[in-house]
Amino acid sequence: MEKYAVGENVPMKFHKALVYVLIPLSLLISVITFIVLLGTVFYAPVLSILLLIILAGSFALSLAAEILLLQMRRTGIILLYVGYGLSVVSSLITLLTDFTLNNIISLVLMAGIIILIYIYYEKRTALFH
């Protein structure tokens, strides 16, 4: 895989879209999901609490990744990977409890997104400090 050098003119449109649109939307959706999950604690307490913990961790990692990616830090990329990894785990837990086509698609999309983000940032690691 070809990597970009520091002095090159590198296309960063996806990085800008991720930092300014996608991660903030993800944070907003996480807050909404957290509120909705609070209502299900009485029906399935163990599973709901586990999902709330994973969601809270994913939210914290996404927020930290957002701040560090704005500063062009490599740590932001690592936190982004971990945050998306937690989303994959959350999708897997949801799939195991409710095996539907929507949950399968969600899991496949999350896994695909993390692979594409890895490829994108792996080529641009020299640009981050």
Instruction: Report the alpha-carbon distance of residue 72 to residue 16 in Å, rounded.
Output: 11
Instruction: Report the alpha-carbon distance of residue 127 to residue 129 in Å, rounded.
Output: 7
Residue 67: per-residue pLDDT? 93
Residue 7: per-residue pLDDT? 65
Tell me how far CA of residue 87 lies from CA of 2, 21, 59, 127, in angstroms: 28, 18, 10, 26
Q: What is the pLDDT along the chain (129 residues), one digit of tens a residue?
A: 677 766 667 788 888 888 999 889 988 888 888 888 787 777 777 877 887 887 888 888 889 998 999 898 989 999 988 888 877 887 888 888 888 898 888 888 888 888 988 888 888 888 888
49: Cβ contacts below 8 Å, ≥ 6 apart: 41
> In which residue are the tokens 């641009």 written?
124
76: Cβ contacts below 8 Å, ≥ 6 apart: 64, 65, 66, 67, 68, 69, 70, 128
Report the b/e string of 98-117 with b at 16+ CB within 10 A.
eeeeebeebbeebbeebeeb
Residue 64: per-residue pLDDT? 93
Question: What's the pTM value of the predicted model, to 2 decimals?
Answer: 0.75
Residue 75: per-residue pLDDT? 92
